[in-house]
Amino acid sequence: MSHADVLSIFSGALTTLLLSIAGIALGLPLGLGLALARWAKVPLLNQVVAVYVSLLRATPLITLVLLIFFALPTAGISVGPVTAGLIALVLNTAAFNCEVWRAALLDLPKDQIEAAQSVGMGQALRFRRIVLPQVWRTALPGLINEMSQLVKLTPVLAVVGVVDITRAAVRIGAQTYEPLPPFLVALAIYIPIVYALVSVQRWVERRTTLREAAA
Amino acid sequence: MPTRIPLLSVQSLRKSYGSLHVLDDISFTVAPGETVCLLGPSGSGKSTLLRCINWLERPDSGRILIDSQPIGVTSGGVVMNDQQLAQVRTRIGMVFQQFALWPHLTVLQNVMEAPVHVQRRPKDAVRAEAEALLQRVGLFDKRDVFPARLSGGQKQRVGIARALAMKPALMLFDEPTSALDPELVGEVLAVMRDLSSEGMTMLVVTHEMAFAREAAHRVVFMDHGVVVETGTPEAFFEAPSTERGRQFLQRFSEGRAVSAG
Amino acid sequence: MMNDFATVWSERGLLLSGLGNTVLLSVLAGLAALVLGALLSTLLMSPRQLLSLPAKALVDLARCTPFLLFAYIVYYGLPSMGLQFDAWSAGLFALTAYHAAYMAEILRAAWAAQPRAPIEAGVAFGYSGLGLFRRIVLPPLALSSAPVLGNQLIQIIKDSAFLTIITLPELTHAVSSIQSRHFIPFAAFLTAVLLYWALCLVIEAGVAAVGRLAEARR
């Protein structure tokens, strides 16, 4: 593998990183919105979200990416590989995030909200000052876990032609007839990133257990 | 005695779960400055009644008026939305059995939270009032502590201060001492007694008979969703006028004798 | 639109063969991963650091590795080291090895959460060895870990879709082929999505049934 090859892998890594961040940034609030729709039992929306989440959690990301990349153009919307990949990532991660947020919301004792209602807080105020500040802490380990899962799924983007780490590695391997070294380099980039996220998750979980034990 | 407009008026309240009548045509009033204790065995509907008054639970039918203002259903007969309910609820203070303090806020922040963010009163004025309230319940020195560090009795006293901070016309107490260890009950009842003697209008669901005897102006005895008896504490405790009232008091004193003996 | 689905239906042979491969691959890999994972978990729980530390490192490594990359390495990379796999073997190997690590961690956690007292009672009553394991240890362990194992099986099914990139003729591969020949991407891929969903619902129903069994025995 030449110097240029390594550089192209790192350039792919940048694409992967940016897409991961975009996917996480969009998927977190979307997941929260979906969870709230279910938690507040908004009629019709509640059931639609339930079906959406069930469907998206069962669908392999590669199948979803292919569906979006090839099917959207037939509906008149032309999407490039990056857009298709990002849409698939966000739709997928939002479904998983929804379940994490939902579990955290259900974990909140009912009388927390009743106390807020009893002092005359409206819905928006209750959510902003009482529900969210408590719920984000509960949801955090699960959300970070989902982030690490998302990063592990980004190689899928290579399948539709996004020039990320994986596609760069494949290309080099095809050119040099030595597929193993570029893949190992790709692995060497992914593993520390995911490991960092997993470590943060473990640290957060430890701190929560400690704080609960002290109280 | 001049008849005063009742502060709280409950009219023909009904609530059922299927065939179970939790509240069966309940009507009563509470005059301004009165302390009324709701007594009765478990399942009598007293907690449900209390929670219907600020519409944390929704009655099936009937009317509730706070200072002649309806809650839950407007005078036009329309069910109130969240915003309208919130408006009326600012006039009612509630103290919860499990305290329900907000764990991510300090004691002082708990007390200041609603006056600042709901009533939009200036922060400095609210802080001064909140600190005064905490002084009153004896927890001024704990004002910067988080609720997790407090005992049950301390938490409940903060809960009372938090409710009072809204300057409510009516205070509701939902079994305020039932979740407390016995030795912590007294400090909470003392605060409630003071509040009552200062003229706060209070509706208290409780099993603390001694408190009802000493602090209440009236007791309302409920059983199976119905108001069985009402009267002064002396009248009820000395000579209940109904058989069910008698049985309840008897079972209660038997229980006390067993646990004391 | 309906024509598209009719076209998909006309290719149902290919579709079923792809679905069959997905199911077969996932079930085999799931079972193999479970067995391998059980062995690996004994290493994880070993008091000897010489055994437990490498095992833990291996599990952590698997947890941090994207499956797609791993599959690529097994199929395209290993031949350069002399290990040749056909698509099926490579796919099965990759799925099994990868998920064995996850299974090991799941089983370790499930075992740690098991109350010891009933087992001690079993020993006190004279159970030992295989009998103890089969009749005293295994049943509650299986019941309590069913939901997590069910989730892992769903994960295996989803990861099997990645194997389309190593030309393994599973469901996504079949559907891609149908799509590229008839130009009916929406109908083709939607069919695949619905089939994956159906598989997932079947597993969840199974887990729920086990859950009811567990509830009765709580």
In C, which residues are within 8 Å of A57 by CB distance?
Answer: 154, 200
pLDDT of residue C83 exceeding 80: no
pTM for the predicted model, two decimal places: 0.85
Residue C16 — left, alpha, or beta (φ > 0 → left; ψ -120 to 50 → alpha)?
alpha
Range C171-206 burial, b when 16+ CB lie within 10 A, else e: bbbbbbbbbeebebbbbbbbbbbebbbebbeebbee
pLDDT of A75 reads 83
A66: closest CA of chain C, how far (Å): 7
Which amino acid would we find at residue A121?
M
CATH of the domain at C138: 1.10.3720.10
Any C CB within 8 A of A58 CB:
yes
User: What was the ipTM of the complex prediction?
Assistant: 0.86
A65: closest CA of chain C, how far (Å): 10
Any C CB within 8 A of A54 CB:
yes
Any B CB within 8 A of A83 CB:
no
Query: Chains B vs C: touching, with 3+ CB pairs under 8 Å?
Result: no
Local structure of residue B106 (DSSP, 8 states)? -
In A, which residues are within 8 Å of B174 by CB distance?
Answer: none
Q: Helices A3-39 and A81-107 sit at what angle, rounded to 10 degrees?
A: 40
C130: closest CA of chain A, how far (Å): 36
φ, ψ of residue B201 in degrees (nearest 5): -80, 120
Distance of CA A47 to the CA centre of its chain: 22
In C, which residues are within 8 Å of A184 by CB distance?
Answer: 73, 77
Any A CB within 8 A of C68 CB:
yes
Using CB atoms, pick whichever of A112, A121, A133 lies closest to residue B114. Answer: A121
pLDDT of A166 reads 85
The residues near C159 (Cβ < 8 Å, ≥ 6 apart) are A60, C67, C95, C98, C99
Q: In chain B, what is the greatest distance between 2 CA atoms, to the nearest angstrom?
A: 57
Range of the domain at C184: 2-217
Separation between Cα atoms, residue C190 and residue C169, nearest integer Å: 18
A78 versus B197: the higher-pLDDT residue is B197
Separation between Cα atoms, residue B176 and residue B99, nearest integer Å: 8
Mutate to test the interface with A, among C83, C189, C196 (most CBs of A within 10 A): C189
* Mean pLDDT in residue range C93-100: 95
In this structure, of B94-103, B105-114, C138-147, the range with the lowest mean pLDDT score is: C138-147
pLDDT one-digit tens code per residue, B138-183: 999 999 999 999 999 999 999 999 999 999 999 999 999 999 999 9
Any C CB within 8 A of A195 CB:
yes
C66 vs A180: CB contact, 8 Å cut-off? no
Record the tokens describing residue B259, joined without a space.
Answer: 């646990």
* Mean pLDDT in residue range A127-137: 94
pLDDT one-digit tens code per residue, C23-65: 999 999 999 999 999 999 999 988 898 989 999 999 999 999 9
pLDDT one-digit tens code per residue, B11-69: 999 999 888 899 999 999 999 999 999 999 988 899 999 999 999 999 999 999 999 89
Query: Given strand B61-66, what is the order of strands in its sheet?
Result: B20-30, B8-17, B61-66, B69-70
Record the tokens describing residue B128, joined without a space.
Answer: 């001064």
Question: Kind and range of the H or E element at C6?
Answer: helix C2-10
A122 vs B83: CB contact, 8 Å cut-off? yes
In C, which residues are within 8 Å of A20 by CB distance?
Answer: none
pLDDT of B261 reads 43
Local structure of residue B170 (DSSP, 8 states)? E
β-pair partners for B35: B202
A4 versus C150: the higher-pLDDT residue is C150
C162 vs A60: CB contact, 8 Å cut-off? yes
Q: Would the CA dihedral through C5, C6, C7, C11 be positive or negative?
A: positive
Query: Which fold is adopted by the domain A3-214?
Result: MetI-like fold (1.10.3720)
Domains: count for chain C: 1
Using CB atoms, pick whichever of B88, B101, B118 lies closest to residue A121. Answer: B118
Q: Which of B233, B228, B234 is nearest to B248 (CA)?
A: B228
Distance of CA B173 to the CA centre of its chain: 2
